[in-house]
Structure formats: C-alpha cells, structure tokens
Amino acid sequence: MAASAEKNGVWGCGEVPTAIAVTSADLVLPPPDLQTPPAAVLGPGGKDHPLERTLAELQALLDQHGYVVVLYPASLADRTVHRLHTARALLESDRIALLRLDLPPLGLAMLALQLRQLALCDFSPGVLASAARLLSHYIYAGALLGSVAKLDRVPVSLTSHAKSWVPGSQFAVLATPEPQLVKVSSGAGGHAPDLFQGPGFGTQLLIARGQLNSDWVTAHLAPAWKVQGVAEAPLPAESGRWWATGRLVEFAAAIPDITMLYQLVSSVRREDCHWCGLDLIGDRCGFCAAPLLPREQRTRTHKEAGRELAAAAEAGAGAGAWAAGAARVLAPGPDRSRRAIGP
C-alpha cells in the first residue's frame, strides 16, 4: 500500500481486502463518489441461480479480495438463506461472513453503502464485519404504511389493527433502532403528536415509493428530523414482504459522511476473537459468530500466542518450546464448541 494511502487510512482502489455483497441488485445504492467500490450481488436462487453459480461467485470474490461480507434481510426466503450457508460450508472457508440483519430492505441498502465506503479505509475484515451491527443502530429505518393488519416485524396494538381496516388510514412505522408506530392524522397533516422521535445527529434521508400516494415523508418527517438532504431510490422487491403490504413509502435516515463513520467505528475498543483470531468490535465476531468472552475469561489469543512463539524462535528456543507453545494455541478450550465457519 502506498505511503500516502496508509497515512490517510485508506486503501488503494485495487487493494480493498473485503468485498461487500448483498442478495439483490435493488439493494445496491449509487455510490456518492468514484472511489466507493461496488457491491457484489448474489442471486436469489432457484432455477435461474443454482448453487453452483453461488459457489462460483463467492470463490471469485475470495480470490479477488480475500474476505467477503454478505448482508441479507431477515425476511429473505429460507431457500436462499440455506443456499448461502451451504455454499460457505462447501467452500470450507472462514473468510465469508453471512450477516442476517433486522433492518428493513432500504435500511439494509444504506448500511451496505456505508460498509462499501468503509471498505476503503484501514479496517480489518473482522472489524468491518462486526461494524455492521454497530452502524445498524444509527440507521433510522421505517415506512409510511396504508395498512398494518399483517405487519409482524414491529409490535402492533389491537387498536391499530382495527384502524387498518378504515379506508384511508395511514401509519408511520419506525422499525429501527427502536420500534415505534403512530397513526398519521389526515386532517392534521401529520404534525405532532403524530411524529415519532428521530435521530439526534446529522443524517441524509432516502425514500422509496411503493403503491401509497403520499408526500408525508418529505413534507413532514424530513423537516421534523432536520435531515441534511433527501434522495429517492427504487423500492426494493423485498420491501413488500418485509412490511407485509405494497401500499407504502419506505424511508431510511443514516449518517452520510465517511469521516464520521470512520470516527464512530474507530472509537470502539477492538478485541481478538478467541475462536478465529480476527479483530472485532462489539460482543460478537462477524465471521465465526463466536461471542466475546467475559474479560475475566480472556487469556491468550491466537495473536498473542503467535507473538510468543515468534519471540521464542528469536531467542533460540528448542523444538520442545515450539511444540509446547503450538499445543497451547491449537488445544480446544471450553468455549470453542463452534465451528470455525460459524452457524
């Protein structure tokens, strides 16, 4: 890596070590600049996208980048999820992270764009994968719905269910970071108390229009949240399944500035995964899914043991010391019951 790139904490465009992948082309948002790498798209499965093709796609990404982080929504069809896990198992690779996220589809698309931007920075693959959970808490994702009668991903009261059957009813629903639901009053124009609490930091608002004809999001929500800008994108195909209705306007507000994203991720303490040895932030490894051990249970990590072995070699230690050290590194501990490639 060039000295200037290393100084600025940014990789060269051809040196991005981690590929960001999604499961549908409509989850790939346009990049804000020419430097942001594209996202890989893994097909939805079925006859037009068999397992063999997914294997080839993942292998090509591993060969080109080294590590792959795949983001997919919780509403994704079971057959597609099974195909992804099968492909990872057949490749026998611990360099593929499959991250199931509770974000709605448009929010997931925003997260994928943020990770694509951060992939240019000097974060290790482990930190980048575990940053997905961190950043998802800073994405305010929801929708204006014409009905909540079948919605099961956000708590809905019996009263709201009943009101869904009234013609012309509209509901503003926030799925993340904290579920909220309010009925939008047609006469009041959506003003308080209809508006729920938004982000306390600068965001850009992205909207995707479905079959609901309403300007409530741009006319009332955007000013109330004091967003720095509003953009539109096509509605992801998965949104109808996630929200259980096609009568919607989906929205997501997220931090657009890569400098702020970099500082946010950098501010979190990094740990070593006790199972696979990768760096992580938070309480779980993004690649092998092993939880972070309580501090009192943390002993030597793979990296620490490796440094001890290297120090022993430099000191001219005999083969016996090397063998004993290697045995300690490779010996399974009480918390190493997970497979290296995760669940």
Reported as a single tens digit per residue, the pLDDT across 213-272 is 999 999 999 999 999 999 999 999 999 999 999 999 999 999 999 999 999 999 999 999
| 304 occurs within a structural domain | yes
| 342 occurs within a structural domain | no
- pLDDT score, position 306: 52
* Shared-domain flag, residues 195 and 99: no
- Max avg pLDDT among 88-92, 196-200, 321-325: 88-92
| 290 occurs within a structural domain | no
Q: Is the pLDDT of residue 314 over 70?
A: no
| 285 occurs within a structural domain | no
* Shared-domain flag, residues 182 and 160: yes
201: domain range? Answer: 140-258
- pLDDT score, position 158: 53
Reported as a single tens digit per residue, the pLDDT across 3-18 is 333 333 444 334 578 9
- Region 56-78: what's the mean pLDDT? 95
Percent of the chain with pLDDT over 70: 74
Name the maximum alpha-carbon separation found in the chain: 83
- pLDDT score, position 155: 74
Q: What does pLDDT average to over the chain?
A: 81
* Shared-domain flag, residues 83 and 187: no
| 135 occurs within a structural domain | no
Domain count, the chain: 3
Reported as a single tens digit per residue, the pLDDT across 104-134 is 999 999 999 999 999 999 999 999 999 999 9
* Shared-domain flag, residues 108 and 147: no
| 264 occurs within a structural domain | no
- Which runs of E-coded beta strand occur in the chain? 18-22, 40-41, 67-73, 96-101, 140-145, 171-176, 180-183, 204-209, 230-232, 248-254, 271-272, 279-280
* Shared-domain flag, residues 148 and 114: no
40 strand-pairing partners: 21
Q: Is the pLDDT of residue 154 over 50?
A: yes
- Classify each residue of 182-214 as buried b or exposed e, where b means 16 or more C-beta atoms within 10 Å of its C-beta: bbbeeeeebeeebbbebbeeebbbbbbbbebeb
* Shared-domain flag, residues 162 and 54: no
CB 243 within 8 A of CB 250: yes
- pLDDT score, position 304: 57
Q: Is the pLDDT of residue 323 over 70?
A: no
* Shared-domain flag, residues 111 and 39: yes
More confidently predicted of 42 and 338: 42
45-59, 146-160, 173-187, 232-246: which has the minimum mean pLDDT? 146-160
For position 206, which CATH number holds? 3.30.1180
Q: Write down the H helix ranges in 71-213.
A: 78-91, 105-118, 125-136, 158-163
| DSSP code of residue 218 | I
Q: Is the pLDDT of residue 139 over 50?
A: yes
- pLDDT score, position 186: 60
Q: Is the pLDDT of residue 321 over 50?
A: no
What angle in degrees, to the nearest 10, is found between the helix axes of 125-136 and 258-266?
A: 110
Intra-chain end-to-end CA distance of the chain, in Å = 34
- Domain end among 72, 94, 128: 128
Could you tell me the CA-to-CA distances from 221 to 22, 35, 229 in Å, in that order? 28, 31, 12
| 232 occurs within a structural domain | yes
Q: Is the pLDDT of residue 336 over 70?
A: no
- pLDDT bracket for residue 274 (50, 70, 90): confident
83-97, 173-187, 195-209: which has the minimum mean pLDDT? 173-187
* Shared-domain flag, residues 91 and 13: yes
* Shared-domain flag, residues 58 and 86: yes
- pLDDT score, position 184: 87
Residues 119 and 88: their CA atoms lie apart, in Å, by 21
- pLDDT bracket for residue 47 (50, 70, 90): low
* Shared-domain flag, residues 226 and 253: yes
Q: Report the predicted TM-score, pTM, of the whole model to 2 decimal places.
A: 0.81
Note if the bond before 177 is cis, omega within 30 degrees: yes
Q: Is the pLDDT of residue 303 over 70?
A: no
- pLDDT score, position 157: 60
* Shared-domain flag, residues 203 and 227: yes
- pLDDT bracket for residue 297 (50, 70, 90): low
Token pair for residue 132? Answer: 């997905």
| 233 occurs within a structural domain | yes
Q: Is the pLDDT of residue 315 over 90?
A: no
- Domain end among 86, 108, 128: 128
- Region 68-83: what's the mean pLDDT? 94
- Region 173-188: what's the mean pLDDT? 83
- pLDDT bracket for residue 322 (50, 70, 90): very low
* Shared-domain flag, residues 120 and 19: yes
